[in-house]
């Protein structure tokens, strides 16, 4: 399984609802086994630069690639890119999901 996490900050905080709505469209893409968009709770005293988080899980790299190739992904990018400042993305493989170390 692959976990996909993306952090966004808004250029203008007034655009946060539009960013969340634009990113929420990604949940319509069928290739994710799990998908969430959330506002950052901003409770960390060390830094709160991130405004919005996207979290998704995919069965494998092919499913993640198909997600990114979907036209909905391109449309979401066109909507959100002009509104965001920061975008940080990370993908990592979980070899045995559900198994505790």
Q: Does domain 2-93 have CATH number 3.40.50.300?
A: no
pLDDT > 70: percent of the chain:
95
Please, what are the averages of pLDDT over each run of 10 residues along the chain (101 residues)? 97 98 97 96 88 97 97 97 97 80 53
Q: What is the pLDDT of residue 99?
A: 63
- Whether 36 and 23 have beta carbons less than 8 Å apart is answered as no
- Whether 94 and 4 have beta carbons less than 8 Å apart is answered as no
Tokens of 87: 């975008």
Tokens of 89: 């993305």
Tokens of 53: 């988080």
Q: Which residues have CB under 8 Å from 21's CB, separation 6+?
A: none
Domain spans of the chain, in order of start: 2-93
């Amino acid at each position: 399984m692959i976990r996909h996490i993306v952090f966004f900050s808004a250029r203008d905080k007034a655009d946060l609802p539009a960013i969340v709505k634009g990113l929420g469209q990604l949940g319509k893409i069928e290739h994710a086994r799990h998908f969430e968009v959330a506002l950052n709770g901003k409770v960390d005293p060390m830094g709160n630069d991130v405004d919005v988080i996207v979290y998704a899980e995919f069965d494998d790299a092919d499913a993640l690639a198909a997600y990114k190739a979907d036209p909905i992904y391109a449309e979401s990018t066109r909507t959100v890119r002009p509104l965001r400042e920061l975008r940080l993305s990370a993908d990592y493989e979980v070899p045995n999901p559900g198994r505790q170390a």
